[in-house]
Each structure stands twice: as C-alpha cells, then as structure tokens.
Amino acid sequence: MFKFLKKLWRDRRGNALIVAGASLPLIIGSAGLATDTIQWVLWKRELQRLADSSALAGAYAKKAGAAIDNCSGVSSATYAQPIAYNVKKYSVISSDSNLTCSASNAPDDGAYTADPNAVRVHLTMQRTLSFSGMFMSSAPVIRANATATVVPSGTYCVISLESGSTTGIDATGSTNVNLGCGMITNSTSMSAAVATGSSTVTATPIAAVGGIPSSTHWGTGTVLQPFTIAQDDPFATVSPPTPATCNGAVTVLPSEVRTDTTGATATTADDALEPGCYSSLNLKGTVTMKPGVYYMDAGNFSVNSGAVVNCDGCTIFLSNRDASSSTIGTINLNGGATINMTAPDVNPYKGLLFYQDRRAASDNNVTINGDSSSIFEGAFYFPKADLTFNGNAGMNTQCMQIVAKDVSFTGNSSISNTCPSGSGSGSFVGKKVRLVE
C-alpha cells in the first residue's frame, strides 16, 4: 500500500486527481451559491412587480373615489378590495411562500406620509433556497415596498370630456394646430386622439384615457401620453344663475340701419348692452357689452359677419329658466366679425367666457370662428357639444381654453395659452398615477 501511495504521489495524473478532489467542494459551492443568487433575484423581482402593481391599483382606486383596503384577506379578496385583489389575481409566487401583505393610505412610512393620495404596499415572503437552505436554520425573508400617488401630468388648454369609445380629439384636413399647451381626452377608444389628412399638430402633452395612434402628423416635440387617468371636468361645480325675469330677443343692427323701434332692435345711445337675461342676442353692428352675466333663455348668442363686439369681463350662459326643459341655445360666431371678449377675473365665474348648460342635447354642434383681429380670453365650456375650432392665422387666442365633449380642429389653429397675470383665466393641470417610491 505504501509503495502504491508513493507511486501515486509521483504520478502527475494522481496529482491532478487530488487537486480536482480538493477543489470539488469549492466548485460545487460556487455553483450552488450562483444558482441561489439567481433564484433570489428572480423572486425579488416577482415580489417587487407585485408590490408595484398593487400600489398602482390602490392609487387608481383612490383617484376614482373608491375605498382603499389594507391588503388583508388576499385569498378571498374581491373587486371591493383593489390592493388585495391585485395580489390575488396577479401573483405568480408559490402558495407555500408565506406571503404577507399590508397597505396604507396615506403611507405609514417613506417620503409621502403627508400625501392623502399616496398608497404604500409592503410585501414579504419566505422561500427556501435549494443550496443555501441546507446550511440555514430558516428560510430567508424577501421584502418589497412600493408607493404610488397622483402627480401632475402637464397643463392643458383643451379638454375633451368624451368618455365613450369614440374619438375625442381630432385634427383633420390641412389644419395646422400649434398649441403652447396640452390636450387631453377621456375617450377610451384606441384612437382617442388622432391627426389625419395633411394636418400638423404640435402640443405638449397630448393625453388620453385610451390609445393615441402614432402619426407623422404629430409635430416635433409633441409628447404623447396614452392610457392616462381621466381629467376631471374643471367646471363641474359651476351652475347657471336663475334669473327671475327675462328680456325678449335683442338684435343690434349696424349703425346706418338702426331705428328707434322697440322689441327686436337695440338702440341704446352708447351702443352698450346691459348684463341680464335675454331670450337671444343677435349682434350685427358695433356693440359694447358691459361687464357681467348674459343669460340666454333657450336662445342663441350670435355674432354676424361685419359685427364688432367688445366685452371685458363677461360670461355668456346658454341655458333655460324652465328646469324641466332641454331646449338650450348655442353660439354662432361667424367669420368676418371682430370679437374682443374676455372672461371675468373674479369668482363665481372667474375665467369662464361661454357656458352651455349640461342639459343641452348630446353631440350638438358648435363652431368657433373669428376674424384675424378677434381676441378671446377665457374658457369655452360646452360639455355636451361636438365643438369645431376653425382657427384663423391671425386670430388672437393666446389665453383661450376649450372644454367640450368632442373637439375638432380645422383651419390654422394657434393657442399659446399664455394668460396675462390676474386675468382670471389659465390652463388646467392634469393628473396621472405613477410610482414614486
């Protein structure tokens, strides 16, 4: 035996065998640790993905006004428990992992404890590692945390309140839309906002609850934000006044054809109209409208070609004093008219230039026209209308907002939305849900 060992010691193949044998535990250990590391990273990623999606589910539910659960009772969770149900539905983690979940709103730790919209989710699980587990008294605990909240998504001067599956914003023909602000639609269509024909649209951002098809018609620098949360109606709390009495229809004729008749013709010496209730206003000449509220009782507000209309601090309400009636008027702003209108800079109608009652027929048609010398400062609010903005290259709309059911652009539309300080008008801040921690 001794001679054999001496011979083996001098044999190179024997040396290699000894070295290999001595190295085998190290090789096996390295391979085992590498396998465990990869497995641990995979589990960690699965757990973090679940925490992220659960926090987002909670934040979306919070934004929608739903109750937020604390992620208990995962196995029996329903839609009424958005966080726990998300864990139940989307977890790919083995049921023997001792998964635990807790959630808080506002967060119980982290940087967003004072944010009432923030939702924080904590997940833990225990999984036995195939190699390291042989040397550990208990399985390691893997943790994942995530926080989601509502953050600003941009500033908008065009809002489409369309909530169905039809297109909410579209630019057609050869229109050139250049907005120094954003557009958003609540449409759930996969073509919620589109630019077709030979149109060019530059706006930042363009957002939609549904999809936004990519297109060469979106101008350079335009940011698309599909699948965002719905934009709130910025004038949802505003209601029309309720006049006790009302004047009849009033027409303002050009000065050369005015008469002293009463009824349909306004003949005020200073060419001024007083605020109040009218069955309709039909402006054909030069007129100054005094600041205040003008209520159209089931009738229209019309500005004809050749008219010159000035109004500083006016709100035009298109409504009906009969609360049971759905007969609501519209606006007729014809090309060739010179219109200089600004909204009030104080409440209750701050920043609101035109308001069509929500009782109006759905998808009623409204068109905004204006001469190159026209100025609009304030919001056009037509929550039930299909509104078409037929811009003019020289039209001054630097402080104009549009809120309608559906919005279409034709002509050369330019809205910079840079409102003068103290004007009462301004863009609307959008919201989106995102992970923040």
Both 65 and 200 in one domain: the answer is no
CB atoms within 10 A of CB 92: 8
Cα distance between residue 358 and residue 158, in whole Å: 18
Q: Return the pLDDT at 429.
A: 87
Tell me what pLDDT residue 311 has: 93
Residues 259 and 378 in one domain: yes
Asked if residue 20 belongs to a domain, the reply is: no
Q: How far is CA 400 from the centre of its chain?
A: 18
C-alpha angle 190-196-200 in degrees, rounded to nearest 5: 115
313: left (phi over 0), alpha (psi -120 to 50) or beta: left
3 state SS of 42: helix
For residue 276, count CB atoms less than 10 angstroms from its CB and return exposed for 0-12, middle for 13-18, buried for 19 or more: middle
Q: Are residues 121 and 186 in the same domain?
A: no
Token output for 101: 């979940």
Domain boundary residue, one of 115, 139, 163 = 139
Residues 159, 133 share a domain: no
d(CA 342, CA 351) in angstroms, rounded, equals 8
270 belongs to a structural domain: yes
Q: What total number of domains does the chain contain?
A: 2
User: Are 195 and 324 in the same domain?
Assistant: yes
Left, alpha or beta for 59 (phi > 0: left; psi -120 to 50: alpha)? Answer: alpha
Other residues' Cβ atoms within 10 Å of the Cβ of residue 395:
26
Residues 72 and 97 in one domain: yes
Is 19 part of any domain? no
pLDDT at site 22: 61
Which residues are CB-neighbours of 434 under 8 A, at least 6 positions away? Answer: 148, 149, 151
Q: Look up the pTM and report it.
A: 0.80
Report if residue 24 sits inside a domain: no
- Please indicate, yes or no, if residue 295 is contained in any of the structural domains: yes
In tens digits, the chain (437 residues) has pLDDT values of 666 656 656 665 556 655 566 666 666 656 666 676 777 788 889 999 999 999 999 999 998 889 999 998 888 989 899 999 999 998 877 766 788 999 999 899 889 999 999 999 999 988 777 666 566 667 788 899 999 999 888 889 899 999 999 999 998 877 888 888 899 999 999 999 999 888 888 888 999 999 999 888 888 888 899 999 899 999 999 999 989 899 888 888 776 665 444 444 554 444 678 999 999 999 988 899 999 999 999 999 999 988 899 999 999 999 999 999 989 999 998 878 888 999 999 889 999 999 999 999 999 999 887 666 788 899 999 999 999 988 665 566 778 899 999 999 887 777 767 777 777 777 888 888 999 98
In a domain, 282, yes or no: yes
* Domain residue limits at 121: 29-139
Decide which of 139, 173, 208 is a domain's last residue. 139
Q: How many CA atoms lie within 13 A of 263 on its CB side?
A: 2
Distance CA 393, CA 106 (A): 49
**Residue 147 falls within a domain, yes or no?**
no
Question: Residue 116: how many CB atoms within 10 A of its CB?
Answer: 10
Q: Which amino acid would we find at residue 26?
A: L
260 burial level (CB within 10 Å; 0-12, 13-18, 19+):
exposed
Last residue of a domain, one of 139, 166, 194: 139
Question: How much is the pLDDT for 96?
Answer: 61
